[in-house]
């Protein structure tokens, strides 16, 4: 996957808006009629393209790896492996894909697990078609809409902040504000801050170099920065990673 800088991502957004490049979408739901309805809604939009459908977690993973979608609409209540586990597995290998979790009801536990899994948005299946289209366009533009959902619910926000305190890689006493980065992304960014190349990070973490590049694309998108240096500086200011060692 190509690692885009900020200006390049903006040019991509402009190309999509002009009809040159459409947003690639994977629909994951175990109800065929629901998938058909979503496809019909999305295919009316000139800048959106449904590239695949899946009815369970395993076929969703296969479809995601085969089509490399920009956005995945993920049914929360999939048969095992469920929507949360599938989201986690996809984000590990395709971190730049924006995942929109679809739920049947407002459930705080499900919202909490979705934010931990790396979802970009959490919406109800009863959402209006025009709102769904708007959310897809916003997450593709790099917005992390689940933040607003989390912080509108104090109980969930408290749990999320507690989780990030416990996941603080270096045991900092002062917990940072809520970070949109996953623990793996923080780990990668910390290694980058120590002067490692993508290849060195891949070796240190026992993952592929391409996976490191995918994570870096996701980090740049989430933090709305242009390059890895800006990402490192931003993360240091927030207290998410340590200063480079002499």
Query: What is the token pair recorded at 66?
Result: 């085969």
Look over the chain and give the mean of its residue pLDDT values, rounded to a whole number.
80
**pLDDT for the residue 172:** 42
Which of 3.60.40.10, 3.40.50.2300, 3.30.70.980, 3.40.190.10 is the CATH number of 6-155? 3.40.50.2300
Is residue 153's pLDDT more than 80?
no
Whether the model clears a pTM of 0.75, i.e. scores above it, the answer is: no
| 52 DSSP β-pair partners | 26
Which residues, other chains included, contact 22 with Cβ-Cβ below 8 Å and sequence gap of 6+? 16, 46, 47, 48, 49
Domain 170-238 matching CATH 1.10.10.10: the answer reads yes
**Domain extents for the chain?**
6-155, 170-238
Give the pLDDT of residue 147.
63
Q: What percent of the chain has pLDDT over 90?
A: 37
Q: Which residue from 13, 46, 45, 43 is spatially nearest to 27, judged by alpha carbons?
A: 43
Give the H or E element holding residue 205.
helix 198-205
């Amino acid at each position: 996957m190509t690692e885009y800088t900020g200006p390049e991502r903006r040019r991509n957004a402009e190309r999509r808006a002009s009809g040159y490049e459409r947003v690639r979408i994977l629909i994951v739901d175990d109800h065929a009629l629901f998938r058909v309805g979503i496809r019909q809604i999305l295919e009316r939009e000139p800048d959106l393209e449904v590239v695949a459908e899946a009815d369970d977690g395993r076929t969703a993973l296969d479809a995601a790896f085969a089509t490399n979608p920009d956005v995945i609409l993920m049914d929360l209540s999939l048969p095992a492996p469920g929507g949360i586990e599938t989201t986690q597995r996809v984000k590990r290998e395709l971190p730049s894909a924006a995942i929109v979790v679809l739920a049947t009801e407002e459930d705080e536990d499900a919202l909490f697990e979705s934010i931990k899994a790396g979802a970009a948005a959490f919406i109800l299946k009863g959402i209006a078609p025009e709102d769904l289209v708007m959310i897809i366009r916003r997450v593709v533009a790099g917005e992390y809409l689940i933040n607003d959902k989390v912080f509108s619910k104090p109980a969930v926000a408290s749990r999320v902040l507690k989780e990030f305190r416990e996941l603080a890689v270096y045991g900092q006493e002062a917990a940072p504000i809520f970070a949109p980065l996953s623990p793996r992304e923080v780990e990668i960014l910390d290694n980058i801050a120590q002067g490692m190349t993508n290849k060195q990070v891949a070796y240190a973490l026992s993952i592929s170099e391409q996976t490191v590049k995918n994570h870096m694309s996701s980090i740049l998108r989430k933090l709305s920065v242009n390059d890895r240096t800006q990402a490192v500086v931003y993360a240091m200011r927030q207290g998410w990673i340590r200063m480079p060692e002499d």
